[in-house]
A and B are shown apart, each in its own frame.
Chain A
Amino acid sequence: DMKVTQMPRYLIKRMGENVLLECGQDMSHETMYWYRQDPGLGLQLIYISYDVDSNSEGDIPKGYRVSRKKREHFSLILDSAKTNQTSVYFCASSSGGADTQYFGPGTRLLVL
């Protein structure tokens, strides 16, 4: 069953707190992504991971870092969250190249 999971689905944090968003996939995909979605802006790529410990900045990496220690698992970390990081975060995976990306259900993060 091709699935991308995200935890937690909803999260409320105070400004300055650390945030950990987790993503898993069961398709053995090499490539995984973190995006954020804001109204009117579509999806913006934060980080891309080509495999374990092979991560690359996307278009808006500032304020974020990632960790990929297992192929099926990709984490997004916000050190000292800011209010402008309030957003919906999506994880995706693909087999690489110009191939279909499979998305998780998203995490709604509110930073107060």
Chain B
Amino acid sequence: GEKVEQHESTLSVREGDSAVINCTYTDTASSYFPWYKQEAGKGLHFVIDIRSNVDRKQSQRLIVLLDKKAKRFSLHITATQPEDSAIYFCAAVASSSFSKLVFGQGTSLSVVP
């Protein structure tokens, strides 16, 4: 089945710099890649997604890139702010069921002033 690897377990950036979180997946048939943010003590909430028919998507300061050949996708957070500090999870839809997501292990992002 699908496996999603999230490469950075922790990441620290200075406020105003960009942060990049990288993920790889194994199932060539995967077509949907969402990102979720988890603030301390809370549940996950959706931040942005990308589908396999495009290779780039932007929503305000968030950019997602998808490289289907390399089976890799990444989240870029530009002009980081302290409120961006959280755990970020990448995910991919399982080809066995479009309702199932397989999550990466999470990246703890710290934005330091």
Please give the residue numbers on chain A whose beta carbons come within 8 Å of chain B beta carbons, in ascending order: 4, 31, 40-45, 48, 50, 58-59, 90, 92, 94, 96-98, 100-106
Q: Give Cα A85–Cα B81 distance, bound, in whole angstroms.
A: 36
| Residue from the list A58, A92, A98 in contact with B93, Cβ < 8 A | A98
| Residue from the list A44, A58, A98, A101 in contact with B98, Cβ < 8 A | A98
Q: Does the CB pair B99–A42 fall under 8 Å? A: no
Binds A, one of B14-22, B38-46, B59-67, B72-80: B38-46
Q: Which residues of A contact B9 (CB under 8 A)?
A: 40
23 contacts between A and B (CB under 8 A): A31-B99, A40-B105, A42-B4, A42-B105, A43-B44, A43-B89, A48-B99, A50-B99, A58-B100, A90-B43, A98-B32, A98-B51, A98-B99, A100-B46, A100-B49, A101-B44, A101-B46, A101-B101, A103-B36, A103-B45, A104-B43, A105-B42, A105-B43
Q: Given A42-B6, A42-B89, A42-B104, A97 and B42 touching (CB < 8 A)?
A: no
Q: Which residues of B contact A58 (CB under 8 A)?
A: 100
Q: Given A98-B31, A103-B45, A41 and B105 touching (CB < 8 A)?
A: yes
Q: Give Cα A98–Cα B101 distance, bound, in whole angstroms.
A: 8
Q: Does the CB pair A103–B34 fall under 8 Å? A: no
Distance between B78 CB and nearest chain A CB, rounded to angstroms? 23
Q: Given A4-B43, A41-B105, A42-B89, A100 and B34 touching (CB < 8 A)?
A: yes
